[in-house]
Each structure stands twice: as structure tokens, then as C-alpha cells.
């Protein structure tokens, strides 16, 4: 279960994809399939959420992993490298950024 807490010993990754309204649904389907089939099955994966803006020009992905190394190992797999190349064809850019939660509310 997704938990936002500064006390939780987790690694948070927020990835923003810049896309177009014409490619947004295709990218969203590719990301959904990647999570269902591959990413969610990787060691250390905890949870993730996909978010789309109203204009369908950005997709934000929030994910949590047990450790930074678990996320990095997933990125280095041949399957994820291939998927990332395909994601790149559906968007202008994307960048995963690793964060530490310093405060949460609610």
C-alpha cells in the first residue's frame, strides 16, 4: 500500500513524462502494462500511481520502493531498458527523480 511518511524507510520516485494529447493514452497504456506485467513484480517494489493532467500533456508517476538500489536494479534490466526506449517514442521527455519524504500531511 502506498504510504507517504517521513518516518517510512522507503525510496520515493517521481517521474514526469511530457507528451502530447495524441500520444497520452498510448503512453498511459504502455505504462500501465509495464506496471502490471513487469515493474510491480520486481524485488523491492511497494506501490505506484499514475496521474494525467487535464490537457493530457503530462503524466506523473509516483512510486515507492524498499530501497534505492531496488529501483536502480529494475532500471538496469534488459526488459526495462527496452520499455524505456519505447516510452521515449511516445513522449518528448521523461525523467525519474529520487526523493526522500521530509514531511507529510493528512
Long-range contacts of range 49-55, CB-CB < 8 Å, 24 or more positions apart?
49/2, 52/24, 52/28, 55/21
Fold of 11-99: Alpha-Beta Plaits (3.30.70)
> Torsions phi, psi of 74, nearest 5?
-60, -45
Q: What angle do CA 72, 87, 13 make, to 5 degrees?
A: 35
Q: What is the pLDDT of residues 33-44, one digit of tens each?
A: 999 999 999 999
Could you tell me the pTM of the whole model? Answer: 0.91
- pLDDT tens-digit series, residues 58-75: 999 999 999 999 999 999
Instruction: At 34, list the grid cell.
Output: 509495464
Amino acid at each position: 500500500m502506498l504510504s507517504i511518511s517521513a518516518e517510512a524507510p522507503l525510496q520515493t520516485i517521481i517521474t514526469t513524462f511530457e507528451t502530447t494529447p495524441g500520444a497520452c493514452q498510448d503512453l498511459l497504456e504502455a505504462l500501465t502494462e509495464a506496471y502490471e506485467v513487469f515493474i510491480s513484480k520486481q524485488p523491492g517494489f511497494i506501490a505506484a500511481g499514475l496521474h494525467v493532467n487535464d490537457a493530457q500533456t503530462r503524466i506523473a508517476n509516483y512510486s515507492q520502493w524498499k530501497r534505492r538500489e531496488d529501483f536502480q536494479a529494475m532500471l538496469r534490466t534488459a526488459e526495462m531498458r527496452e520499455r524505456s526506449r519505447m516510452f521515449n517514442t511516445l513522449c518528448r521527455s521523461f525523467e525519474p527523480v529520487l526523493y526522500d519524504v521530509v514531511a507529510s500531511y493528512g
